[in-house]
Amino acid sequence: MKKRDFLTIRDFTPTEIAALLERAAEFKSGMTSGDKPLFGKSVGMLFYKTSTRTRISFEVGIYQLGGQPLYITQGQSQLSRGEPIADTARVFSRYLSGIVIRTFEHNIAAEFAAYSSVPVINGLTDTHHPCQIIADLMTIKEKKGRLEGIKIAYIGDGNNVANSLIEGALQMGMDLAVASPEGYEPSPGILKDAASRITVVTDPKDAAAGADCLYTDVWISMGDKEEEIADKQSKFAAYQINGKLLSYAKPDCTVLHCLPAHRGQEITDAVIEGPNSAVFDQAENRLHTQKAVLEMLIK
């Protein structure tokens, strides 16, 4: 059987995503506690970036599926001394049944996958965060009972989360309005394929109007340069999810944030701790959806 990778949301069909969400719900319910599809298998976790949710959820998920997680930082490998990615990928493939990579440039993950003979899962790159979005879709389905026709308003930086959210919305028939300052929109390459269900605006109120879900992420990302940080802090001041912005959405609007949150910047403490918030359910669902992804890909 030809190995499959999970580098972007589009690597799974809508039917496969729906099946992943069903399987994740089974994992969450505890129905499958005896299932050990990774028994006797080792999964490498190659991280160029620090992590809380991605690292812990994958380590715990691999263990709960009966496998052995191996956490490796770039600095702990010969990559830090200039070993080519292609060589590292081929060596890892001789030892491991699968690889999770969390890195900067997306082409690093793509090159790793090209030379790996075992499945490679994107734990985050600068332009895509597909594992996060699968968990988000699970959370929205839990709260709203469906995905098709749901309106999400994403407020803030058009970053990797926004890019993958666009792809997820298109795959699952959702409406998405993105509100970002000029110059900080999602990647043009992602937007050029976006259907009429995706709109990009500059006014957060326009995006939030009638939304079923409000979603935000940090304004400052790992790797941002000092001058960009200063520019963002001035331009993003009007893009905070607060009580006023929440009032433009539906009364039962679900608030999402992939965490970590900078409370008082992109979201207020009152909103993240308020009755509309599902951010900690969202964080928990990383575990369940990643177990479903691991089970699907690693045979």
pLDDT given for residue 194 in this prediction: 72
Active site annotation includes 253: no
Of the residues 126, 258, 265, 288, only one is catalytic, namely: 258
Catalytic residue among 64, 132, 171, 282: 132
Residue that has been written with the tokens 């409406």 in this structure = 175
Which residue out of 23, 102, 106, 128 is catalytically annotated? 102
What's the pLDDT score for residue 231? 81
240, 217 contact by CB (below 8 A) = no
CATH number of 9-129+284-297: 3.40.50.1370
Fill in the DSSP letter of residue 220.
Answer: S
Give the active site residue among 106, 257, 286, 288. 286
Question: Tell me, what amino acid is at 29?
Answer: S
Encoded amino acid at 244, one letter: K
- Beta-strand ranges (E) seen in 50-109 are 68-73, 98-102
Q: Using one digit for the tens of pLDDT, what is the confidence trace for 118-176?
A: 999 999 999 999 999 999 999 999 999 999 999 999 999 999 999 999 999 999 999 99
290 is catalytic: no
217 annotated active-site: yes
Give tens-digit pLDDT for 2-26.
Answer: 999 999 999 999 999 999 999 999 9
Q: How far apart are CA 213 and CA 137, in angstroms?
A: 11
How does pLDDT run across 200-209, given as a tens digit for each residue?
A: 999 999 999 9
Give the Cα separation of 93 and 97 in Å (integer).
7
Beta strands in 94-225 (DSSP E): 98-102, 120-124, 151-155, 175-179, 198-201, 213-216
**CA quadruple 55, 112, 162, 232: dihedral sign:** positive
Is 3.40.50.1370 the CATH number for 132-283? yes
Of the candidates 53, 128, 129, 288, the residue annotated as catalytic is 129
Residue of 217, 253, 265, 288 with catalytic role: 217
pLDDT tens track for 33-81: 788 999 999 999 999 999 999 999 999 999 999 999 999 999 999 999 9
Tokens representing 71 are 């956490």
129 is catalytic: yes
Where do you find CATH 3.40.50.1370 in the chain?
9-129+284-297, 132-283
pLDDT confidence of residue 35: 87
Q: How many CB atoms lie within 10 A of CB 218?
A: 22
| In the predicted structure, residue 178 carries a pLDDT above the cut 90 | yes
What is the identity of the amino acid at 115? Answer: Y
Is 213 among the catalytic positions? no
Q: Is 230 exposed, middle or buried (0-12, 13-18, 19+ CB in 10 A)?
A: exposed
Please state the rounded mean pLDDT for residues 226-239: 85
Q: Is 258 noted as a catalytic residue in this protein?
A: yes
